[in-house]
Chain A
Amino acid sequence: MNILQKSLAASLISLIIFSSGAPAIHADSFSLDPISAAVTDKAMGDIMDYFGINQQELKNNIQTMNVSRQKKIPPQVSITFTPASPVPGEKITATATPTYFMNDPSQIYYTWLLKRSGKDGGAEDYKVAAMRIIASGDFEYEQESYADDGEKSAGDSDTGDSDGYYAFFGGQDQKGKKSRCFANDISSGNDYEITCKHAFPTSSPGEVGDGEFGLEEEKFWHTDPKSNDTANSGTMDEAAVVGLGKTTFSWIYAPGDKVGVIVEGISVDPTSYADSSYKTMWAMPKNTEDNCNNVDLDSLPENRTDTPIITKIDYTDTDTDGYEESYTKVTATTSYSYATGDYIVKTGESPGIQILKTTKTTVTTQDCILPPASLLEPSPVEICGDATTPAHWPISSSTSNPRFVTASDGSLDSSTDFNNCLEDNLVDPAQGTSNKKLDVSLSYLPDTPMNDPAGDNADELVIQSSILNAGNKDFIYYDWSVSLGSSISADDWIALDANTKKQTGLDQTAGIGLKSLKMNLNFDKPEAFYAKITLRAKETSFENLQKEGVATIIVPIYNAQNKIEVFPTNVSADLDITLDVAPEAKRCDSGIEKTLCPIVKNEIVGLKTDIDPDDYNLVWTLNGEPLSSANPNAATAYFPVLQEKGTKYTVNLNASHKTSQEKITLTKTFIVADPEIHISAVNESAANSTCLPILLGYYVDPINKNPNPAPASDDSLWPDYSEDSFEALQGKVIKLKTTSNALSPSQPSWIIDGVIVTTDNAASLGATLNADGTLSFSADKSTGATYSVGVETLYTQTNLVKKALYGKWGIPLTDFYEKRISKSITIKVADQIDVSSALAARTQDKKILASLFSSIPAYVNFLFRIILTLILILFSTGLLFSFFPKQNQA
C-alpha cells in the first residue's frame, strides 16, 4: 500500500472514531445549502404536478390529519325517560344510551345515581340508592333476617348462592386484557392516561366487583342471600350492583327526583401500548357541559416528590451604577412530568411502540441572598428584581427530548374527579318536559259543517277534545270559548254573547268533564264564516301539581240556505222519469214532514235542489252510496222506495263550488210509511177561511222558532191543530181537499154523513165535486150540528211506475200491492170560527189542569172521579132529606 492510500485510510478511520462522539443528528439540524434546497423543492414540485397533486390541498389535508386525533369524540351517554312527562307516584324508567363505546351495551358497567327529592347527600348516597333498587328488585328485604345459619360466617364470601362478580376495567368483555384508563380533555381533545379505578359505590361492606358477595353485602344491598339473582334480571347480584348491562333504571317518581349514570367501557380508540388494550373511559350525561373528565393542568399539584435542585451562583455586579453588588443567586428547580398522551411513532421501529413526549416545566424560584450584615441602597427587592421583570436573574426553562416514560401520575385520581362533578351530571326527568303541560288536541265533525239560519239544514258542530297526558280526564276542568270571524287570519274574532249561546245550544261552556262541545249551526249569517274554538284545560294532580293546556281550532262553516225539495215523479211511456215540479205538488215542506218525510213503498221519489249546477259540482248519494239514477251533476234526482215500512232513507247532496272553496252539504231524511190520506180545508190559513181545524193547544219546539207566535212573545210555542175536528161557518161554503203521502191513480171518493157523493147525487146533497178532486158543500145545518165527512181511495202504483220499477230495478210484479186508505173528519157548524186567540187564552187557563191530569196515573184519576161521585151522591141525598120534612110523631 502506498503512502496516499495509507493516508486516506487513516483519515477515514479518524473520521469514524471522532464522529461516534458527535451529537445525534436531528432532522432539524440538517440543512442543505440554499442552492440544493431550491433544486430539491423544484423537483418535488414537478413530481407532484406530474401526478396532479394539488400541493396546497395536500398541505391542508396533512394539517387536518395532524390534528385529527384531537377531533375524535370521546365516549358519551345520554338519558331518556319513559314516560317523557313523569307522573308523580308512578313508575318512570330512565334509559341510558352509550355512544362511541366499543363494547356492546350489555358488556358495559352502568353506575346509576338517584337523588331523592328532599334528601341531600353525597354522590355515594345517590349511587347506593339507585343500585340497591336495581340489585334488589321487588325483594322484601325487611322480612329477611340475614341471619348467619352457622355454616357460613358473616363476611364469608360465599353465602351459597354464588352471586359474586369480578368487574374488569372497560367492561365484561375486557377480561384478560391489560387495563389502560384514560380521561379526555375536552379543550385540547387529548386523552390523558389516569389511574384505573371503577366508579362503583364504595360504601358497601365489601368491595363492589371483587368477585365476593357475602352476607353483609347482601344485607347492605337488600338482596336475597338465598338467590343469586334477586331481581330476576338475568344477572348475578354483584353484577347487578356493578351495573353490568343495566341500561335502564326504574323507580317511583316524586317531584324533585334527579337521576344520573356513570358508564364505564372502552373507547373506539385503541391505546398506543403494544398489547390488546383499548382505552377504558367513562362517560356521564353532561360530559360536554361540565368537563369533569378533564385534567386540569392548572391544578396540578405543586408539591412534587422530586427534590428540588438547588444551585448557587455567585454574581458580581459589574454595572456602572457605582454600587458593587455581590449576591448569591439561589435557584431551586423542580420538575413536573406527566403524560400528555401525545405520541410519535418512531420511524423504523415496529408499530405499537409508544414514545410519549413529556413536557417538563421547570419552575424556578430564586432567592436573593444578601451578603451577611449588608444593607445596601436601593432596597433588596429592587435589587433582586421580581418574577416579571427579572432585573438580574434569568428564568430558565427547558424541554426534554422525547423519551420513554411511565404512564400515570399517582396524584391524579380519576374517581375522585368523577364524584366531584357527579352532582352537576344529575338529570331532572321533569326538566324540559311537558309534565306541567297538558297535551290538548281538538277535532271536529262533520267535515263540512253547514250553517242554516232557518235551521232546516243546520248541522250540529261537535268539537271533540283529546288530552293525552292527563291523569283523570273526568276531573279535568274544561273552559271552552267560541268566537266567529270572517277568515282564518281575521283580527276581528267576535265572541258569542249569552243570547247567541243559548240559541245555538251552548248552555254550558265551562266545567269539569266537558270533553266535547256541541253547537247548533243556526247563526244568522248569510255567508260562509269561520268559528274559532279555544279550549283551556286545567288539571290539579298529585301533590297539587297544576297542569294546563290550551288548544285552538278554526272551523270553516258553510252556509246552507239551499234546500232539497221533494216532488212526485211522472213516468213516461218510454219509462223516462221526470219530476212534477208544480209548486202545489211539492211534498214534505212543512211541519214534521219537513224533518222526516214519509214515503210509500214502490213509489219513485223525486228530488230537486236550488243549487245551480253551472256553478257547483253536485253529487247525490242515497244512504252513502252514489245515487245511480241521477244524471251527473244534475240538480234533480229520483230514487225508488223498495224497502219495508219503518226503513229510513238518507239523501245527501254534496256541492263544491267550481271556482272557490265553498262547499255545501244538504241532507234529507225519509221514512217508509203506510200510504195515508188527509183531509184539510182549502185556504185554511187565509183570514177569510170558512172552515178551520180546531186548535187543540200548543206544543213547545225549542229549536224551530215560530215566526208568528201566539201567545205573543213566546216563539217556541207552535199551535197544535186537530186533524179530525173542524169548525165551519154556518151557511158558508166549505171546500175540502185531500193530501196524501202517496200518489194514487184513482180519485178519492167523498162521503158526507155516510153518503158517498157522486156526480149524480152531489146536487141533492148540496155538494159539488170539483175537477181538481176537492169537495165543496154548504154548511146549511144549524149552529152546533156536525157534518161527518170522509174520503177513501184505493192506493196503488200506476202501470207506468210498475213498468219502471220492473224494468229499471227488477221489482217483480208480485211485489206491487193495493191498499184502501180512508180518513174522516167531523165538522162542527158554528157562528164564528176565528176563535184562535180565545182558544189560546182558554188553553192558557186550562193548560195547568190539563197538564196535571195528563200526568197523573190513571188509577189516581179514577179514584178522584169516584170520590167526587160519592160526594155528589151524598150531598144530593142530604139535600133530598132536607126537602122532605121529618115525620112528627104525636
Chain B
Amino acid sequence: MDTKQKSSPLSHWRTELISSAIVLLCLFLAVYFPAQGTLQLFSNTLFFLFLLPVLYIKIILKQNLTDFGFNTLNISAGLLWSLAMLASSFLIIFFLMHFYNFEQKYFLPTYLAQNFWVFLFYELVLANFLFFIQGFFFRGFVLFSFAKKLNFFAPLIQFLIFTLFLAATNSINWKAAPSIILSLTGGIVAYKSKSFIYPYLTSLLFMIILDAYIIYLFK
C-alpha cells in the first residue's frame, strides 16, 4: 500500500521562505544597522551581505558554498556566457549613450581622471570589494537560493530584488545604471555557469573599461 504524506506548501517552500526572510533581513540591516564612519559602514556591508549569508548557508542550511556559486567549475560555460553578456552590457551602454547621453550623466570622481594610480586603486580595491560582495549576495546567495525551485526565474528575481533595493534606498540614478545592467546580465551568466565568480569578474572588467572610456571621452 502506497502512503503519501501530503506536505504543506509551507514545508515545501520552507527553505526558500526562510532564505527570503534572511535576504530581506540582510538588506535591511546592511542599510539600517547603526554605524558611524566609513570603517563601520564597510563592516556593515561585509557582515550582513557576506558573513551572515555564509554562516546561514554553512550552519543553518548545512550546505556547501559551491552550491551557491562559490566555484569555478564550468569554465567553458562561464567564459562563453561572460563574453556574451559583456557584449550585451556594452551594447546596452551604447544605446544609453546614443539615446540618452549616458556619458553626460554618468559622473566619475575627478581624482580618478587625474591620477592613474588612484583610478587603479578605486577600480581594483574599492569597486572590486563592492562588486564581490554584491556578486556573492545577489548572484550567489539570492539567485541560488531560488534557482532550485524557480529555475530560470531566479536571475530575474535577484535582478528585481536588487533594483527594488536600490529604489528603497533612493539609489536609482544614472550612476547606478551600470550596476543595474550588470545585475541582469550577470545573473544570466551566474545561472548558466552555476557560479557568481564569472559575473563578478565580468562586472569588474566592464566597469574598468567603461570608466576608462568615460575618462577618455572627457580628457
Chain A residues close to B by CB (< 8 Å):
858-859, 862-863, 865-866, 869-870, 873-874, 877-878, 880-881, 884-888, 890
B156 in the interface (beta carbon within 8 A) = no
A877 closest partner in B (C-beta): B60
A862 touches B40 (CB 8 A): yes
B22 touches A877 (CB 8 A): yes
A874 touches B43 (CB 8 A): no
B168 in the interface (beta carbon within 8 A) = no
Minimum Cβ distance to chain A for residue B141 (Å) = 14
Contacts of B52 on A, CB cut-off 8 Å? 870, 873-874
A890 touches B5 (CB 8 A): yes
Contacting residues of chain B (148-190) with chain A, CB-CB under 8 angstroms: none
B59 touches A874 (CB 8 A): yes
Chain B residues close to A by CB (< 8 Å):
2-5, 7, 10-12, 14, 18, 21-22, 25, 29, 33-36, 39-40, 43-44, 47, 51-52, 55-56, 59-60
> 9 other contacts beyond A870-B51, A874-B59, A887-B14, with CB at 8 A cut-off?
A859-B39, A859-B40, A862-B35, A862-B43, A863-B43, A874-B55, A874-B60, A887-B12, A888-B7
- A881, B59: Cα distance in complex, Å: 12
Contacts of A873 on B, CB cut-off 8 Å? 22, 25, 52
B60 closest partner in A (C-beta): A877
Contacts of B11 on A, CB cut-off 8 Å? 884-887
Contacts of A888 on B, CB cut-off 8 Å? 5, 7
Minimum Cβ distance to chain B for residue A686 (Å) = 41
A869 touches B33 (CB 8 A): yes
A866 touches B43 (CB 8 A): yes
Q: List 17 A-B contacts (CB under 8 A).
A: A858-B36, A859-B40, A862-B36, A866-B33, A866-B47, A869-B33, A870-B55, A873-B25, A874-B59, A877-B60, A881-B14, A881-B60, A884-B14, A887-B11, A887-B14, A888-B5, A890-B4
Question: Which secondary structure characterizes the binding site on chain B?
Answer: helix
Contacts of B35 on A, CB cut-off 8 Å? 862
- A359, B38: Cα distance in complex, Å: 119
Minimum Cβ distance to chain B for residue A866 (Å) = 5
- A884, B21: Cα distance in complex, Å: 14
Number of A-B contacts (CB under 8 A): 57
Q: Nearest 8 pairs between A and B by C-beta? A: A884-B14, A887-B7, A887-B11, A877-B60, A862-B40, A866-B47, A888-B5, A878-B60
Contacts of A886 on B, CB cut-off 8 Å? 11, 14
B4 closest partner in A (C-beta): A890
Contacts of B33 on A, CB cut-off 8 Å? 866, 869
- A884, B51: Cα distance in complex, Å: 25
- A865, B47: Cα distance in complex, Å: 11
Minimum Cβ distance to chain B for residue A192 (Å) = 103
- A859, B36: Cα distance in complex, Å: 9
B59 closest partner in A (C-beta): A874
B55 closest partner in A (C-beta): A874
Assess A877 versus B47: contact at CB under 8 Å? Given A862-B35, A887-B12.
no
Minimum Cβ distance to chain B for residue A323 (Å) = 143
Contacts of A865 on B, CB cut-off 8 Å? 34
- A11, B137: Cα distance in complex, Å: 173
Contacts of B4 on A, CB cut-off 8 Å? 890
Assess A880 versus B18: contact at CB under 8 Å? Given A858-B36, A870-B55, A890-B2.
yes
- A865, B44: Cα distance in complex, Å: 11
- A870, B55: Cα distance in complex, Å: 9
B18 closest partner in A (C-beta): A880
B5 closest partner in A (C-beta): A888
B5 touches A884 (CB 8 A): no
- A310, B10: Cα distance in complex, Å: 164
- A887, B39: Cα distance in complex, Å: 43
- A890, B7: Cα distance in complex, Å: 11
Contacts of A869 on B, CB cut-off 8 Å? 29, 33
Tell which of A859, A870, A884 touches B47, judged by Cβ atoms closer than 8 Å. A870
- A517, B36: Cα distance in complex, Å: 48
A877 touches B56 (CB 8 A): yes
- A880, B56: Cα distance in complex, Å: 13
A874 touches B56 (CB 8 A): yes
A865 closest partner in B (C-beta): B34
Contacts of A859 on B, CB cut-off 8 Å? 39-40
- A886, B40: Cα distance in complex, Å: 38
- A89, B118: Cα distance in complex, Å: 66
Contacts of B12 on A, CB cut-off 8 Å? 887
Minimum Cβ distance to chain B for residue A890 (Å) = 6
Contacts of B22 on A, CB cut-off 8 Å? 873, 877
- A885, B7: Cα distance in complex, Å: 9
B43 touches A881 (CB 8 A): no
Minimum Cβ distance to chain B for residue A681 (Å) = 34
- A880, B20: Cα distance in complex, Å: 13
B44 touches A866 (CB 8 A): yes
B18 touches A877 (CB 8 A): yes
Contacts of A887 on B, CB cut-off 8 Å? 7, 11-12, 14
- A887, B14: Cα distance in complex, Å: 9
- A874, B60: Cα distance in complex, Å: 7
- A873, B21: Cα distance in complex, Å: 10
- A859, B12: Cα distance in complex, Å: 42
- A858, B36: Cα distance in complex, Å: 9
- A292, B21: Cα distance in complex, Å: 119
- A863, B37: Cα distance in complex, Å: 13
